[in-house]
Amino acid sequence: MYDGFCNLCSWSVQFIVRRDKNHYFKYVALQSGNVKRSLQAFNIPANFDKSLILIEGDSIWFKSDAALRIAKRLRGLWPLFYVFIIIPKPVRDSVYMFIAKNRFKWFGKRDNCYTLTGNSNNQNTNSN
C-alpha cells in the first residue's frame, strides 16, 4: 500500500513492478476504498497515510521494514539491500521518516491519485 498522491511513492511502485520477478506484489493506493477493510483487520486507522505498508499473510510491515522486505524479493542486486536490516530499526526508520516528511517538497505531489493499471498480476487489490 502506497500514497497515491506522492510522486516518489508512485515512481517507487513502478520501479517495483519492473523488478518483481515472480509477480509477488499486488498494489493499492492508501486512498483506495479497498484499503479501509485491510487496515481495520490490523487495527490501523482508516485515514493512515504515514508509511508504505506491506502485508504478508498475517504480518504487516511499515517504513524501513516494508521497504527492505520488498527489496529482498526484487530482481537484480536489490535483495542485497536487505543487509541494512541489521541497522537498528529506530535509525532506519529515522532516515525513512526524514525522506517521507520531505517527499512532497523534493519530488512533488500528484493532482490525481496514481493507480496501477495493466498487468492483472499487478493491479490494485486490497493487499500488498
> Nearest CA to 1 among 106, 102, 19, 9?
9
Is the Cα torsion angle 48, 37, 31, 1 positive or negative in sign?
Answer: positive
Task: List Cα–Cα distances, 6 to 40, 84, 89, in angstroms.
Answer: 23, 25, 24
pLDDT of residue 30: 85
16: helix, coil or strand? helix
pLDDT in tens, 37-79: 778 888 888 777 778 899 998 899 999 999 999 999 999 999 9
> Nearest CA to 107 among 24, 3, 35?
3
Strand partners, 29: 2
pLDDT in tens, 11-36: 999 999 999 978 999 988 888 877 87
pLDDT in tens, 70-84: 999 999 999 999 999
**Helix (H) or strand (E) run with residue 102 in it:** helix 89-107
pLDDT of residue 117: 64
Q: What does 47-79 look like in DSSP terms, one character per residue?
A: T--SS-EEEETTEEEEHHHHHHHHHHTBSTTGG
Q: What is the pTM of this model?
A: 0.82
pLDDT in tens, 92-115: 999 999 999 999 999 999 888 887
The conformation of residue 32, written as its DSSP 8-state character, comes to S
